[in-house]
Protein backbone atom coordinates (compact mmCIF):
# COMPACT_ATOMS: atom_id res chain seq x y z
CA UNK A 1 0.00 0.00 0.00
CA UNK A 2 1.46 3.35 -1.04
CA UNK A 3 1.78 6.44 1.15
CA UNK A 4 -1.49 7.94 -0.10
CA UNK A 5 -3.51 4.89 0.83
CA UNK A 6 -1.65 4.47 4.12
CA UNK A 7 -2.70 8.00 5.10
CA UNK A 8 -6.29 7.29 4.08
CA UNK A 9 -6.29 4.06 6.06
CA UNK A 10 -5.07 5.78 9.23
CA UNK A 11 -7.79 8.41 8.73
CA UNK A 12 -10.61 5.89 8.29
CA UNK A 13 -9.43 3.70 11.15
CA UNK A 14 -9.69 6.74 13.40
CA UNK A 15 -13.06 7.82 11.98
CA UNK A 16 -14.72 4.49 12.71
CA UNK A 17 -15.20 5.12 16.42
CA UNK A 18 -16.09 8.79 15.82
CA UNK A 19 -18.77 7.84 13.30
CA UNK A 20 -20.12 5.00 15.42
CA UNK A 21 -20.97 7.43 18.22
CA UNK A 22 -22.16 10.31 15.99
CA UNK A 23 -25.74 11.52 15.62
CA UNK A 24 -25.21 11.40 11.84
CA UNK A 25 -25.06 7.59 11.86
CA UNK A 26 -27.53 7.14 14.74
CA UNK A 27 -26.20 3.75 15.72
CA UNK A 28 -28.56 3.64 18.70
CA UNK A 29 -31.54 3.98 16.36
CA UNK A 30 -30.11 1.33 14.07
CA UNK A 31 -29.83 -1.11 16.96
CA UNK A 32 -33.54 -0.68 17.67
CA UNK A 33 -34.45 -1.55 14.07
CA UNK A 34 -34.02 1.67 12.08
CA UNK A 35 -32.64 1.14 8.56
CA UNK A 36 -29.61 3.16 7.47
CA UNK A 37 -30.61 2.83 3.80
CA UNK A 38 -32.12 5.73 1.91
CA UNK A 39 -35.19 5.71 -0.31
CA UNK A 40 -33.15 6.08 -3.52
CA UNK A 41 -31.21 2.83 -3.27
CA UNK A 42 -34.11 0.88 -1.77
CA UNK A 43 -36.44 1.94 -4.58
CA UNK A 44 -33.96 1.67 -7.45
CA UNK A 45 -32.29 -1.59 -6.48
CA UNK A 46 -35.61 -3.21 -5.64
CA UNK A 47 -36.29 -6.58 -4.03
CA UNK A 48 -33.24 -8.28 -2.55
CA UNK A 49 -34.80 -11.13 -0.59
CA UNK A 50 -32.82 -14.32 -1.07
CA UNK A 51 -30.19 -12.62 -3.22
CA UNK A 52 -26.46 -12.61 -2.49
CA UNK A 53 -25.14 -9.05 -2.12
CA UNK A 54 -21.52 -7.87 -2.00
CA UNK A 55 -21.10 -4.43 -0.45
CA UNK A 56 -17.85 -2.73 -1.46
CA UNK A 57 -16.36 -0.04 0.83
CA UNK A 58 -18.93 -0.87 3.49
CA UNK A 59 -17.41 1.22 6.34
CA UNK A 60 -18.62 -0.28 9.65
CA UNK A 61 -21.45 -2.23 8.11
CA UNK A 62 -24.73 -0.45 8.88
CA UNK A 63 -25.91 -0.43 5.26
CA UNK A 64 -24.68 -4.00 4.76
CA UNK A 65 -26.69 -5.16 7.77
CA UNK A 66 -29.69 -3.10 6.64
CA UNK A 67 -29.70 -5.05 3.37
CA UNK A 68 -29.57 -8.25 5.42
CA UNK A 69 -32.62 -7.07 7.34
CA UNK A 70 -34.35 -6.74 3.97
CA UNK A 71 -33.60 -10.37 3.21
CA UNK A 72 -30.28 -10.31 1.33
CA UNK A 73 -27.39 -12.68 2.02
CA UNK A 74 -24.70 -10.09 2.61
CA UNK A 75 -20.93 -9.78 2.44
CA UNK A 76 -19.25 -6.49 3.33
CA UNK A 77 -15.71 -5.41 2.43
CA UNK A 78 -13.65 -2.45 3.60
CA UNK A 79 -9.94 -1.66 3.78
CA UNK A 80 -10.20 -0.40 7.37
CA UNK A 81 -9.51 -3.07 9.96
CA UNK A 82 -11.24 -0.97 12.63
CA UNK A 83 -14.34 -0.63 10.46
CA UNK A 84 -14.51 -4.36 9.77
CA UNK A 85 -13.99 -5.22 13.45
CA UNK A 86 -16.89 -2.89 14.34
CA UNK A 87 -19.07 -4.34 11.57
CA UNK A 88 -18.48 -7.90 12.75
CA UNK A 89 -19.18 -6.95 16.35
CA UNK A 90 -22.37 -5.13 15.36
CA UNK A 91 -23.66 -8.07 13.32
CA UNK A 92 -22.98 -10.47 16.18
CA UNK A 93 -24.61 -8.16 18.74
CA UNK A 94 -27.79 -7.87 16.65
CA UNK A 95 -27.84 -11.50 15.55
CA UNK A 96 -27.75 -10.57 11.85
CA UNK A 97 -26.04 -13.06 9.54
CA UNK A 98 -23.29 -11.32 7.55
CA UNK A 99 -19.74 -11.94 6.37
CA UNK A 100 -17.18 -9.14 6.58
CA UNK A 101 -13.73 -9.07 5.01
CA UNK A 102 -10.92 -6.59 5.49
CA UNK A 103 -9.31 -5.96 2.12
CA UNK A 104 -8.11 -3.24 -0.15
CA UNK A 105 -10.64 -3.20 -2.97
CA UNK A 106 -8.09 -3.97 -5.67
CA UNK A 107 -6.77 -6.98 -3.73
CA UNK A 108 -10.21 -8.46 -3.17
CA UNK A 109 -9.91 -11.17 -5.87
CA UNK A 110 -7.04 -12.60 -3.76
CA UNK A 111 -9.17 -12.61 -0.61
CA UNK A 112 -12.73 -13.50 -1.59
CA UNK A 113 -14.11 -16.27 -3.80
CA UNK A 114 -17.50 -16.68 -5.44
CA UNK A 115 -19.94 -14.54 -7.39
CA UNK A 116 -22.92 -12.47 -6.28
CA UNK A 117 -26.34 -11.50 -7.56
CA UNK A 118 -25.70 -7.88 -6.57
CA UNK A 119 -22.62 -5.72 -6.10
CA UNK A 120 -23.51 -2.54 -4.20
CA UNK A 121 -21.58 0.58 -3.19
CA UNK A 122 -22.70 3.99 -1.99
CA UNK A 123 -22.14 7.51 -0.66
CA UNK A 124 -18.59 8.80 -0.67
CA UNK A 125 -16.77 5.88 -2.24
CA UNK A 126 -15.29 6.79 -5.63
CA UNK A 127 -13.09 9.66 -4.46
CA UNK A 128 -10.92 7.17 -2.51
CA UNK A 129 -10.08 5.07 -5.57
CA UNK A 130 -7.08 5.93 -7.78
CA UNK A 131 -8.05 3.61 -10.66
CA UNK A 132 -11.65 3.21 -11.87
CA UNK A 133 -10.80 0.72 -14.62
CA UNK A 134 -9.51 -1.76 -12.02
CA UNK A 135 -12.50 -0.94 -9.79
CA UNK A 136 -14.91 -1.87 -12.57
CA UNK A 137 -12.98 -5.06 -13.29
CA UNK A 138 -13.34 -6.10 -9.66
CA UNK A 139 -17.08 -5.46 -9.86
CA UNK A 140 -17.40 -7.56 -13.03
CA UNK A 141 -15.28 -10.31 -11.46
CA UNK A 142 -17.70 -10.74 -8.55
CA UNK A 143 -20.99 -10.42 -10.43
CA UNK A 144 -22.83 -13.51 -11.55
CA UNK A 145 -23.90 -13.54 -15.21
CA UNK A 146 -27.13 -11.56 -15.21
CA UNK A 147 -26.15 -9.90 -11.91
CA UNK A 148 -26.72 -6.27 -10.98
CA UNK A 149 -24.26 -3.55 -10.04
CA UNK A 150 -25.68 -0.49 -8.28
CA UNK A 151 -24.04 2.70 -7.05
CA UNK A 152 -25.33 5.93 -5.56
CA UNK A 153 -22.68 8.53 -4.79
CA UNK A 154 -21.78 12.19 -4.79
CA UNK A 155 -21.95 13.59 -8.32
CA UNK A 156 -18.51 14.35 -9.80
CA UNK A 157 -19.66 17.92 -10.52
CA UNK A 158 -20.25 18.52 -6.82
CA UNK A 159 -16.55 17.92 -6.20
CA UNK A 160 -15.54 21.07 -8.11
CA UNK A 161 -17.43 23.28 -5.61
CA UNK A 162 -16.20 24.99 -2.46
CA UNK A 163 -17.65 27.50 -0.03
CA UNK A 164 -17.08 31.13 -0.99
CA UNK A 165 -16.77 32.91 2.34
CA UNK A 166 -16.84 36.35 0.70
CA UNK A 167 -20.30 35.86 -0.78
CA UNK A 168 -21.81 33.24 1.50
CA UNK A 169 -22.43 31.08 -1.55
CA UNK A 170 -20.07 28.75 -3.44
CA UNK A 171 -17.45 28.88 -6.14
CA UNK A 172 -15.78 26.55 -8.63
CA UNK A 173 -12.48 25.66 -6.98
CA UNK A 174 -11.30 22.28 -8.27
CA UNK A 175 -10.78 20.48 -11.53
CA UNK A 176 -13.57 18.22 -12.81
CA UNK A 177 -11.26 15.86 -14.67
CA UNK A 178 -9.11 13.03 -13.39
CA UNK A 179 -5.46 13.37 -12.46
CA UNK A 180 -3.26 10.51 -11.28
CA UNK A 181 -1.91 12.92 -8.67
CA UNK A 182 -4.54 13.12 -5.90
CA UNK A 183 -5.76 16.15 -4.02
CA UNK A 184 -4.35 16.45 -0.52
CA UNK A 185 -6.83 17.47 2.17
CA UNK A 186 -6.10 18.53 5.75
CA UNK A 187 -9.62 19.31 6.89
CA UNK A 188 -11.04 19.65 10.38
CA UNK A 189 -13.46 17.11 11.77
CA UNK A 190 -15.53 14.81 9.57
CA UNK A 191 -18.77 15.05 7.59
CA UNK A 192 -20.47 13.16 10.45
CA UNK A 193 -19.14 15.49 13.15
CA UNK A 194 -17.60 18.80 12.07
CA UNK A 195 -16.28 19.42 15.59
CA UNK A 196 -14.63 16.05 16.11
CA UNK A 197 -10.97 16.06 17.08
CA UNK A 198 -9.24 14.04 14.36
CA UNK A 199 -5.53 13.29 14.67
CA UNK A 200 -5.02 11.71 11.24
CA UNK A 201 -6.40 14.62 9.23
CA UNK A 202 -4.41 14.30 6.01
CA UNK A 203 -6.18 12.39 3.25
CA UNK A 204 -5.75 11.96 -0.49
CA UNK A 205 -8.64 11.86 -2.95
CA UNK A 206 -9.07 11.40 -6.70
CA UNK A 207 -11.56 13.10 -9.00
CA UNK A 208 -13.39 10.99 -11.59
CA UNK A 209 -15.68 12.48 -14.20
CA UNK A 210 -19.06 10.98 -15.02
CA UNK A 211 -17.64 9.73 -18.32
CA UNK A 212 -14.80 8.02 -16.42
CA UNK A 213 -17.34 6.10 -14.37
CA UNK A 214 -19.47 5.08 -17.33
CA UNK A 215 -16.56 4.12 -19.56
CA UNK A 216 -14.88 2.03 -16.85
CA UNK A 217 -18.04 -0.03 -16.35
CA UNK A 218 -18.62 -0.41 -20.09
CA UNK A 219 -15.00 -1.48 -20.65
CA UNK A 220 -15.45 -4.13 -17.94
CA UNK A 221 -18.29 -5.62 -19.97
CA UNK A 222 -21.25 -4.27 -18.00
CA UNK A 223 -24.39 -2.89 -19.64
CA UNK A 224 -25.63 0.36 -18.12
CA UNK A 225 -29.37 0.26 -17.44
CA UNK A 226 -29.83 3.81 -16.16
CA UNK A 227 -28.03 6.90 -14.87
CA UNK A 228 -29.95 9.33 -12.66
CA UNK A 229 -28.90 12.72 -11.29
CA UNK A 230 -30.30 14.56 -8.27
CA UNK A 231 -30.06 18.18 -6.97
CA UNK A 232 -29.37 17.22 -3.37
CA UNK A 233 -26.84 15.45 -1.14
CA UNK A 234 -26.78 13.23 1.93
CA UNK A 235 -24.81 15.79 3.98
CA UNK A 236 -24.07 19.51 4.18
CA UNK A 237 -21.19 19.78 1.73
CA UNK A 238 -21.56 23.57 1.51
CA UNK A 239 -22.50 26.17 4.11
CA UNK A 240 -25.23 27.48 1.78
CA UNK A 241 -27.17 24.20 1.99
CA UNK A 242 -30.09 23.35 4.24
CA UNK A 243 -31.68 20.07 5.26
CA UNK A 244 -35.19 19.30 4.07
CA UNK A 245 -37.88 17.36 5.89
CA UNK A 246 -36.90 14.36 3.75
CA UNK A 247 -33.35 14.40 5.19
CA UNK A 248 -31.64 15.53 1.98
CA UNK A 249 -29.46 18.65 1.83
CA UNK A 250 -30.22 21.19 -0.92
CA UNK A 251 -28.94 24.63 -1.89
CA UNK A 252 -30.84 27.32 -0.02
CA UNK A 253 -31.19 29.26 -3.26
CA UNK A 254 -33.84 27.17 -5.02
CA UNK A 255 -33.34 29.15 -8.25
CA UNK A 256 -30.05 27.25 -8.68
CA UNK A 257 -30.33 23.54 -9.47
CA UNK A 258 -27.11 21.58 -9.83
CA UNK A 259 -26.29 17.86 -10.06
CA UNK A 260 -25.05 16.88 -6.60
CA UNK A 261 -25.82 13.17 -6.43
CA UNK A 262 -26.06 10.38 -9.00
CA UNK A 263 -27.19 6.77 -9.15
CA UNK A 264 -26.38 4.12 -11.71
CA UNK A 265 -27.48 0.57 -12.35
CA UNK A 266 -25.65 -1.85 -14.67
CA UNK A 267 -26.00 -5.53 -15.54
CA UNK A 268 -23.47 -8.22 -16.34
CA UNK A 269 -24.69 -9.96 -19.51
CA UNK A 270 -25.74 -13.59 -19.09
pLDDT of residue 194: 87
Domain that holds residue 142: 3-267
Q: What is the CATH number of the domain that holds 243?
A: 3.40.50.150
161 bridge partner residues? 172
pLDDT of residue 246: 95
SS3 140: helix
Q: How crowded is the C-beta side of 23, counted as CA atoms within 13 Å?
A: 5
Question: What percentage of residues in the chain have a pLDDT greater than 90?
Answer: 97
Each residue's pLDDT tens digit, 138-164: 999 999 999 999 999 999 999 999 999
Residue 1, pLDDT above cutoff 70: no
pLDDT of residue 187: 83
C-alpha closest to that of 122 among 266, 264, 268: 264
First vs last Cα of the chain: how many Å apart?
35
Task: Confirm if 187 and 158 have CB atoms less than 8 A apart.
Answer: no
Each residue's pLDDT tens digit, 162-190: 999 899 999 999 999 999 999 999 988 99
Residue 49, pLDDT above cutoff 80: yes
Section 202-230 average pLDDT = 98
Q: How many domains does the chain have?
A: 1
Each residue's pLDDT tens digit, 94-137: 999 999 999 999 999 999 999 999 999 999 999 999 999 999 99
Task: Confirm if 59 and 78 have CB atoms less than 8 A apart.
Answer: yes
Section 30-35 average pLDDT = 98
SS3 13: helix
Question: Average per-residue pLDDT in the chain?
Answer: 96
Residue 89, pLDDT above cutoff 80: yes
Q: Note if the pTM is more than 0.75.
A: yes
Amino acid sequence: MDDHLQANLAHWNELTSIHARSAFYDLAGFKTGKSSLKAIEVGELGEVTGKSLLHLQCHFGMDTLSWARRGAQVTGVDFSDQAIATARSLGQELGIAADFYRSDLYALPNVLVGEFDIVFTSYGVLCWLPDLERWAQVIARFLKPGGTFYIVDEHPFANVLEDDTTTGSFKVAYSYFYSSEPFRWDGEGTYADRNAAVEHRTTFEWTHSLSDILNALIAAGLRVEFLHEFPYLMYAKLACMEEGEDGWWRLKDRSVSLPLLFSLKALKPS
